[in-house]
Amino acid sequence: MQRIEIKSLLSSTEIGKEVCVKGWVRTRRGNKQVQFITLNDGSCLDNVQIVADTEKFDEALIKKSQQVRLFL
């Protein structure tokens, strides 16, 4: 799957399409059920918020994403 910049993604009119974005984690917050990850790629000032269900993703990996520049 080809990467799309956040700037292009936010100006797109397509809904429900699977996309690949890469960048760095600006913030991460949440609780034991869900994590909210704010991702930026430098293509614009806006960010993308990723909602990660901790039952589907390893919580240790999500926590590690704040410590290193994890590409999602």
pLDDT tens-place string over residues 16-25? 888 888 888 8
Rounded to whole angstroms, how far apart are CA atoms 38 and 50? 6
Containing structural domain, residue 43: 6-67
Q: Is 62 among the domain residues?
A: yes
| End-to-end Cα, the chain, rounded Å | 13
Task: Classify 41 as helix, strand or coil.
Answer: coil
Q: Is 1 among the domain residues?
A: no
Q: Is 17 among the domain residues?
A: yes
Q: Is 58 among the domain residues?
A: yes
What mean pLDDT is reported for the chain? 82
Total domain count, the chain: 1
Whether 67 has a pLDDT exceeding 60, the answer reads: no
Q: Is 28 among the domain residues?
A: yes
Q: Is 39 among the domain residues?
A: yes
Q: Is 72 among the domain residues?
A: no
Helices (H), the chain: 6-11, 59-67
